[in-house]
């Protein structure tokens, strides 16, 4: 029986489509979590979202009937859950201090880092198109950031930018762990243990930083948990069927969804520089995900 990766080696568009849909759900979730974080605080929103997500995913995981994972698998679950908890908390800390689209743009250094981490940690072969496409997309991010933050001296905005950049480094690590995790566990198991580990880790400080949310906050937190777990399962399915270097550059497409959500939900303006950056980002994604044709076979001498 062929492996999932082998089945989609010639036609990667199914995992690519799953990643794009997963990223769209994540962008909507970011908008919902921004609203929840403004109401309840970042730490509280993250902690209670972990509880909601774990409760939601438990029946689905139990239905699969695969039992408790072995220790080697659990170590990957724990590692990614802790990294994800730190990454997301820093990201949402920055998100409440900067517009949604610009927050996503700053996080785009992560796929570039992850491309190289995937070589060292996963043993993948780096394609030239993946590197070139990532740099094209990164140029688009630079255009947006330069126009947005030139001359900015707001202390809160600066703290937000620093938090987002640290979060992006953790996100790069998270992307590589995502590929490793997807190869050893099903989508339901990945989503359940990531939410459970993140919830448990944030529980260490919950007594001081996570008061009980209001009814309005609870509604937003539950919606974000649904969107987050759905996205996690889509991404896990995709990363089990295609190499990280093919899927990671697609992270840049999240900017498009973030710009739309920020504009609709928070009235955040989309500037001409933003559109120019998006054009470069999309071009980079398309170039990075193209597949090199198979080399021609040498002719046998007569």
SS (H, E, C) 249-293: HHHHHHHHHHHHHHHHHHCCCCCHHHHHHHHHHHHHHHHHCCCCC
Output the tens digit of pLDDT for each of the chain's 302 residues.
Answer: 445 544 444 657 899 999 999 999 999 999 999 999 999 999 999 999 999 999 999 999 998 877 899 999 999 999 999 999 999 999 999 999 988 988 887 787 776 677 777 777 767 777 788 788 888 888 887 887 777 666 655 788 778 888 998 998 898 888 888 878 888 998 899 999 999 999 999 999 999 999 999 999 999 999 999 999 999 899 989 988 888 778 877 877 888 889 889 999 999 887 788 778 878 877 887 777 665 554 444 343 43
pTM attached to this predicted model: 0.80
Tally of CB atoms within 10 A around 86: 18
What whole-number distance in Å separates Cα of residue 74 and Cα of residue 167? 23
């Amino acid at each position: 029986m062929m492996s999932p990766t082998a089945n989609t080696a010639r036609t990667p568009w199914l995992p690519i489509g799953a990643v794009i849909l997963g990223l769209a759900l994540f962008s909507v979730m970011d908008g919902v979590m921004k609203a929840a974080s403004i109401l309840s605080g970042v730490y509280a929103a993250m902690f209670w979202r972990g509880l909601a997500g774990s409760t939601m995913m438990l029946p689905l995981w139990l239905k699969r009937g695969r039992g408790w994972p072995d220790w080697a698998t659990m170590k990957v679950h724990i590692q990614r859950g802790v990294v994800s908890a730190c990454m997301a908390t820093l990201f949402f800390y920055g998100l409440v201090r900067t517009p949604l689209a610009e927050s996503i743009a700053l996080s785009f250094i992560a796929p570039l880092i992850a491309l190289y981490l995937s070589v060292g940690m996963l043993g993948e072969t780096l394609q030239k198109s993946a590197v070139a496409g990532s740099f094209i997309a990164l140029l688009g991010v630079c255009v947006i950031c330069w126009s947005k933050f030139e001359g900015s001296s707001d202390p809160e905005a600066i703290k937000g930018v620093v938090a987002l950049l640290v979060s992006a480094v953790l996100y790069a690590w998270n992307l590589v762990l995502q590929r490793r995790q997807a190869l050893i566990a099903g989508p339901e198991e990945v989503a359940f243990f990531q939410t459970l580990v993140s919830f448990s880790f944030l529980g260490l400080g919950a007594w001081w930083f996570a008061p009980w949310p209001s009814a309005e906050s609870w509604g937003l937190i539950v919606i974000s948990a649904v969107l987050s777990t759905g996205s996690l399962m889509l991404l896990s399915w995709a990363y089990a069927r295609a190499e990280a270097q093919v899927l990671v550059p697609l992270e840049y497409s999240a900017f498009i969804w973030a710009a739309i959500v920020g504009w609709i939900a928070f009235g955040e303006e989309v500037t001409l520089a933003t559109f120019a950056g998006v054009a470069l980002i999309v071009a980079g994604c398309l170039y990075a995900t193209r597949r090199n044709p198979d080399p021609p076979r040498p002719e046998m001498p007569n």
